[in-house]
Amino acid sequence: MATEFEDGFPAEKLFNQGYSYTYDDVIFLPHYIDFPTDAVNLSTKLSRNVPLSIPWVSSPMDTVTESYMASAMAALGGIGIVHSNVTPSEQADMIRSVKSRRVPILSSPVFKAPDSRIADEFDSHDVPFVLVTQSGTQKTKLLGYVAKSDWLGLKDKEIKLGEVMRTDANVCVPWDYDLRQIDGKLKEEGRDFVVVEEGGEVVDAVTKEEVDRVKGYPKLGKGTVGSDGRWMVGAAIGTRDSDKERLEQLVKAGVDVIVLDSSQGNSVYQVEMIKYVKQTYPELDVIGGNVVTMSQAQNLIKAGVDGLRVGMGSGSICTTQEVCAVGRGQATAVYKVSSIAAQSGIPVIADGGISFSGHIVKALVLGASTVMMGSFLAGSTEAPGAYEYDEKKKCRVKKYRGMGSLEAMTKGSDQRYLGDTAKLKIAQGVVGAVADKGSVLKLVPYTMQAVKQGFQDLGASSLQSAHDLLRSKTLRLEVRTAAAQVEGGVHGLTSHEKKAF
């Protein structure tokens, strides 16, 4: 006769004791392994109609997600949500930039008109060529190009570019060329760069140096591609009437999903905006939030959301819990909201509180369909901003700021905290810096492998199986004491070097 063991606690019991738990507070007990790590499938849904290959979302913060980050996320099989701390037209341009790419490269080509004279563009080591177009801007016909070597060899530096440019139709490739095709073109013709065009207009330029950089990272798959054959990308908007005009521009630019960006999403403003979006653009998925309670979530589900964003005050640069005395521990919030959202088939995004792969495992197993990250991706090659050297830390850093910081609020993010009409601005975030993390094209695949190993230890070969094991009370948890948390990390050493991969 089999003996029944009562070991650990089911999630339902653990999260109904009146405590607000963070990810570090809880630990899963291991389960039975009967499959290899490579058998773990982390494909999921961001929202009702947006599938992803990996459960990874970059946060709509102005120091995290613009076109480069969103392109990289799509290439990896996740998705980026472009922030709204810019004008509607600038945000729409970022969406168009992502939709017109099929390779996650960093590129900022210089455009000039044929009657222009180069003044100082070639003084920069980062400008190997200048593209000459009809209007002197992007999205017009390419007439030719001037290479830096050609320009430096000229005696008359006042000559017009149209008189010295090279005209070479073979330098152009279609917008939908992937990395392999572009690499083949560069090698076959011995070129240093190619110009990407669509419909006879210049879209971008890709250098051999960038192709070689991306080739050095783990191999990319198909990525997150929509029915239009283009990379999928999301965008954040607020809940004011002016955001309806912003939304219109984003839809025209081809946005695939909208995130209503608010620190406290359970408001009449958000409910009305959800209804407006679904009535005006019924085919467009809209994600509501942020929420941390079941009642908050239920209100937005009734309003018609296609996804929910969970988290309040759990981000590393967020001070909402400290300033406003509201919020919830992220582990508890994710479990509670996911429990109610699952009844309506609404995917949940665990937003904030992620410091390493173990937190991702916990967020996903507790019920989330995806994890949204800010600080985890900030400081990467693809994040907005320039690197600076920190003399104290002896490393390169990039600025990372909360959208509730006073600095970000001056750009317009105060609307997210319903403070855009207030005379006195109260910060709910800080400004800081994070160390250089390298490219997300390397960071994400290695982190995902660690997540898969966590799922294997739990005996879950997919997100759905993890959720089933949790709800059937097969997976068990315990609360960790402060001493247990210390024991669970690196300890007892005078010094060490910690490398994740």
Cβ(23)–Cβ(488) below 8 Å: no
Please provide residue 46's backbone torsions phi and psi, each rounded to the nearest 5 degrees: -75, -45
**Catalytic residue ranges:** 318, 416
Cβ(370)–Cβ(52) below 8 Å: yes
- What are the Cα distances from residue 418, in Å, to 265, 333, 423, 427, 479? 10, 22, 12, 12, 36
321/310 Cα distance (integer angstroms): 14
Cβ(319)–Cβ(429) below 8 Å: yes
Please tell me what DSSP assigns to residue 325: S
3/38 Cα distance (integer angstroms): 33
Sign of the dihedral through C-alpha 255, 257, 259, 265: positive
160/452 Cα distance (integer angstroms): 57
Of 288, 277, 290, 284, residue with least CA distance to 244: 277
- The position carrying tokens 């197993």 is 365
Of 194, 139, 202, residue with least CA distance to 171: 194
Of 500, 467, 446, 445, residue with least CA distance to 77: 445
Cβ(39)–Cβ(349) below 8 Å: no
- The position carrying tokens 């949940």 is 348
454/447 Cα distance (integer angstroms): 11
Tokens of 280: 């005006």
Helix (H) or strand (E) holding 408: helix 406-409
Of 341, 375, 340, residue with least CA distance to 359: 375
- Strands 395-401, 431-435: parallel, antiparallel or unpaired by DSSP? antiparallel
Cβ(122)–Cβ(145) below 8 Å: no
